[in-house]
């Protein structure tokens, strides 16, 4: 494990922050760091379902990590993000209902999406009361499958190669056109690829991409991982630098190493 870079610590001090102010959670080979917006309560949510969780380890169904970002204009944006994060547990708890396949996980995500749509719409509009962007990554049998809707971002970092972006924003005119909570109109983007030893997965909310391009964010994580190999330190560094660059949105960063023997 290594700490934030001296540059990051200096910048935090300049902003009147203590050297290690960022909440960080580690679960085995994955870590998440997050910062709440100074303008509103924290509306992002995340899930780290790695082999460090007994339920996951015993299931033989691989690992899931996810980032969800509640839509600020939706009255129930934050509860929607929470519902999507909580719903992932059913993949391990209710194995008879949800096959260990990309289709099984897609159906679970669609079901939770529909449940949120059933909360209703904003009075006088067709907008859902609850909605969130989200990126879900499932690692199983040396394959990575990413499920995505909205403007959260997933990147795969491979040694000797440039970062690969696995998600693209569903937005038009500054508004999301696809998100969880939209009901049966939702089409989830699904991308599957083989993974190799030493690959690193990065998921982030748009609080990061308001400060960095997706490629630049991935390069910062890769540099930190090269320096110390600690997903928690890499997540902290990116969250710190995103705030330093002026992002005032919620910031959530998940970093996960994909080594099979971890």
Average confidence (pLDDT) over 109-127: 95
pLDDT for the residue 174: 82
Query: Quick one: pLDDT band at residue 126, thresholds 50, 70, 90?
Result: confident
CATH code given to domain 6-248: 3.60.40.10
CA angle 249, 79, 255 (to 5 degrees): 55
Average confidence (pLDDT) over 200-213: 98
Per-residue pLDDT of 219-250, as tens digits, reads 999 999 999 999 999 999 999 999 999 999 99
Per-residue pLDDT of 20-37, as tens digits, reads 469 999 999 999 999 999
Q: pTM of this prediction? A: 0.92
Residue among 191, 184, 189 nearest 111 (CA): 184
pLDDT for the residue 173: 86
> Where do the DSSP E strands lie in 171-211?
171-172, 175-176, 189-194, 200-204
Residues 194 and 92: their CA atoms lie apart, in Å, by 22
């Amino acid at each position: 494990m290594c700490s934030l870079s001296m540059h990051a610590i200096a910048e935090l001090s300049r902003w009147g922050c203590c050297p290690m102010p960022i909440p960080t959670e580690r679960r085995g080979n994955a870590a998440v760091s997050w910062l709440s917006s100074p303008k509103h309560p924290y509306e992002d949510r995340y899930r780290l379902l790695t082999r460090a969780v007994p339920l996951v380890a015993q299931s033989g169904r691989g690992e899931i990590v996810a980032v969800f970002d509640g839509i600020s204009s939706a009255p129930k944006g934050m509860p929607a993000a929470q519902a999507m994060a909580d719903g992932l547990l059913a993949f391990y708890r209710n194995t008879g209902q949800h096959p260990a396949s990309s289709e099984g996980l897609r159906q679970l995500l669609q079901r939770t999406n529909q449940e949120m749509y059933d909360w209703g719409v904003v009075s006088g509009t067709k907008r859902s009361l609850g909605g969130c962007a989200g990126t879900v990554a499932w690692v199983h049998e040396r394959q990575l499958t990413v499920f995505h809707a909205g403007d959260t971002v997933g990147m795969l970092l491979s040694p000797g190669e440039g970062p690969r972006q696995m998600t693209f924003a569903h937005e038009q005119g500054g508004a999301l056109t696809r998100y969880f909570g939209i009901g049966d109109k939702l089409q989830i983007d699904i991308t599957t690829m083989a993974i190799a030893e030493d690959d690193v997965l990065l998921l982030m909310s748009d609080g990061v991409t308001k400060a960095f391009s997706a490629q630049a964010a991935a390069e910062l994580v890769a540099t930190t991982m090269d320096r110390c190999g600690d997903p928690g330190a890499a997540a902290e560094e990116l969250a710190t630098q995103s705030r330093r660059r002026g992002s005032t949105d919620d910031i959530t960063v998940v970093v996960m190493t994909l080594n099979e023997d971890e």
